[in-house]
A and B are shown apart, each in its own frame.
Chain A
Amino acid sequence: MSLHADFIVKENVLLVRLEGELDHHEASRLREAWQQELANNNVGHVIVNLEKLTFMDSSGLGVMLGRYKEVQASGSEMVICSISPEVRRLFDLSGMFKIVKLVDNETFALEMLGVAS
């Protein structure tokens, strides 16, 4: 199963919904699309919704960390939401949630970043 990424702009937030499997093969394509979306839209914050991500390995961690650094460098925030227990184990191992915020769902994430629903 391959990866499908949806990018939605809500006010000043880029919402990234990932579906499928994120490995090294999919990572470079995702990175390019994601960077393009950040460059084309006047957005600051990023929400990554992992509800439908069924598999991820360390290549996916690399992409997340790369985008986090870019978003943070521009003074904005990145929030991850709706993570499955399987994918969460990987994030926990890497200590990613010491730096990136994790919330239960997209609504909470949007509220947190001040987007009216």
Chain B
Amino acid sequence: MRNEMTIEFLSISENESLARVAVASFISQINPTMEELTDIKTVVSEAVTNAIIHGYEDNPDQKVRLSCAINGEEIEITIQDEGRGIDNVDMAREPLYTSKPEWERSGMGFTIMENFMDHVEITSEPGEGTTVHMKKQLTSTRALCN
């Protein structure tokens, strides 16, 4: 099956759980396992949190855009902000790297996304914003391919 959704919400931390729940209920139509569901909720939480605290630096009046697509048993998620952007994407992807240690950030966000998803692509332009594009194939399809 093929399906798509897009939502846009203000850059406030209350919307982190909204984003997780929206994606979880959208993908429930292709019956992911509990582990897959947790993985997806976690990566959505990471990317939306990044948009709010790093992209928009806690400015509550900005917009975060979240798209999710289902292609057969592949899930595709895009999280986009028009915030300050990332100066050095390679550095940001390093485990434990954080630009905000004083905020008790663990620096594990991108590492978690890379571990829980099959594919993570980050495009960012300083001053223009950041787009995180992620893909994951659900296990039942993998089993069929083997």
Contact = CB atoms under 8 A, between A and B. Distances in A.
Contacts of B35: 86
Interface stretch (B37-45, B62-70, B85-93, B121-129): B37-45
SS class, residues of chain B in contact with chain A: helix
Interface residues of A, number: 21
Contact of B112 (A23, A65, A90): A90
B137 interface: no
Interface in A59-109: 59, 61-63, 65-66, 86, 90, 93-94
24 contacts: A1-B17, A2-B17, A21-B17, A23-B13, A23-B49, A25-B14, A25-B17, A27-B104, A55-B20, A55-B38, A55-B45, A57-B45, A57-B109, A58-B105, A58-B112, A59-B49, A59-B105, A59-B106, A65-B104, A90-B42, A90-B108, A90-B112, A93-B111, A93-B115
